[in-house]
Structure 1
Amino acid sequence: MSEDIHMTTMMIVGGIAALIIVMMIWIYNSIIANHNRCKRAWSDVITYQRQKLKVIPQVEEALANYLSHERDLQTKITALRTGIDSLSTESMDTERVMQIEQISKDVMGRLSLTMEAYPELKASELSQGLMRELSEQESDISAAISIFNQGVEAFNNGITMFPHLLVNRMFNKMAPLRPFTDSAAAEEIEFKPNLE
């Protein structure tokens, strides 16, 4: 009888140990999966940014006669192209993307003003099509950034909540990722929630 109790106890302890090991493996793998999801989402952000590089030369060509009078716009377009070229899928540099997004907004605003200043340019189907394409790319980038931020939130929650926190500290040792934020847009909003 005591041998049966001892055997039952060993089976229960073994079952609990196996369950804990399986849970730790599952948590470890979920942390890795969430990190990989963030890397993929970051790659999408970079891909959409780089698609602008296909349109920018066409915009410059379409506006060639007008850009000679718009040196500041030419400088901003060059800065945008250089910034996009500097992006890497290897490092999640949200600060750099924020800078590029600000330059991109400036370029879009300046392009709109330039088109308003030159009625024949505004009437051109080519320039309107290019502006529409740039605008669509901006929307795609915004969507990709939103997906990236959702992935970052899931990853950060996954490494900072119990019991994932313990598994991360013991095995993964991954640091929280920084989400993309638009500080310029945030400054324009008067309401500031108390999130601390």
Structure 2
Amino acid sequence: MGNTLIGLIVIAVIVGYPIMVYNRLVALRNRFRNGFAQIDVQLQRRHDLIPNLVEAAKAYLSHERNTLEEVMQARNGAVAAQQDAASDPTDGQRIKKLSSAENMLTKALGGLYAVAEDYPDLKANETIQQLMEDLSSTENRVAFARQAFNDEVMHYNTYREKFPHNILAGLFAFRASEQLQLENPEARQAPNVSF
């Protein structure tokens, strides 16, 4: 009777532990997928605002067609990368491509903002001001959603890489995921201080 009970406990541990690890991996993966869904919503909002901003700026920036075209090309590339990443946010390569496309879009928007500085009428336009404010607000939302996503990816990857979870994760084909790295050029530059 004692050996039977010990045998049942050992079998329960041998069967139960992999089930527990598998379920935890699924839960963590679903949490970072949800985190990506939050980013997806904000990126879609960002991408929807950009054509409106470009259209509103066209009247003022007739000689700056290249800047406007660069913004729209970068936006279209970011939309395509976003749709690709949304189809499988667990694919690290798709997340890297999205990061790259969003970084190109941020750079193109920086060029548009720089050009807008040279046109006082453009800066004073209420529609332009509102669109730029909405875009700036959306950028903040993207940053918060990206931070939450990256935290969830870190938790998932850490759990997945711990021993003996890494063995079971490999058996069940749980791949490592990538964090979404969006460059903010302003955050990388030292602030100018003058007296």
Matched-pair contact (CA < 8 Å) for 1:158–1:164: yes
Counterpart of 1:90 in structure 2 is 87
The residue number in structure 1 matching 2:47 is 53
Shift of 1:180: 2.2
Q: Partner residue of 2:69?
A: 75
Structure 1 184/55 Cα, relative in aligned 2: closer, same or farther at 3 Å? closer
Q: How does 1:160-175 map to 2 (within 5 A)?
A: 160-170=161-171, 172-175=172-175
Q: 1:30 Cα shift?
A: 0.7
Q: Given the two structures, how large is their TM-score scaled by the length of structure 2? A: 0.82
Q: Give 1:59 shift.
A: 0.7
The count of corresponding residues between Structure 1 and Structure 2 is 181
In structure 1, distance between residues paired with 2:134 and 2:110: 15
Unaligned runs of 5+ in 1: 1-6, 190-196
1:18 aligns to 2:12 (yes or no): yes
TM-score by length of 1: 0.81
Q: Which moved more, 1:25-34 or 1:61-70?
A: 61-70
Query: Matched residues in 1 for 2:49 and 2:27: separation?
Result: 34
Note the aligned Cα RMSD (angstroms): 2.3
For residues 65-93 of structure 1, the C-alpha deviation after alignment (integer angstroms, 9 at most, x for no partner) is 12321122212221232123212211331
For 1:124, give the aligned amino acid: N
2 CA distance for matches of 1:81 and 1:15?
A: 58
- How far does the alpha carbon of each residue in 1:130-174 deviate from its partner, in whole angstroms, 9 at most, with x for none? 11111111111112221221111111112110221222233x122
Deviations along 1:34-75, whole A, 9 cap, x unmatched?
Answer: 112222222222221111232122212211212321122212
State whether residues 76 and 103 of structure 1, in contact with CA within 8 Å, keep that contact through their aligned partners in structure 2: no
Cα distance between partner residues in 1 of 2:77 and 2:15: 46
Q: Tell me how far apart the structure 2 counterparts of residues 140 and 125 of structure 1 sit (CA, whole Å).
A: 22
How much does 1:14 deviate? 0.7
Report the more deviating stretch, 133-142 or 61-70. Answer: 61-70
Q: Which residue of 1 aligns with 2:124?
A: 123
Greater displacement, 25-34 / 85-94:
85-94
Point out where structure 2 has 5 or more consecutive residues left out of the alignment. 190-195
Moved more, 126-135 or 98-107: 98-107
| Partner SS state of residue 63, structure 1 | helix
- Distance (whole Å) between structure 1 residues aligned to residue 58 and residue 182 of structure 2: 32
Tell me the residue number matched to 1:192: none
For residues 132 and 166 of structure 2, what CA distance do their matches in structure 1 show? 47
SS of the residue 2:180 aligns to: coil
The residue that corresponds to 2:177 in the other structure is: 177
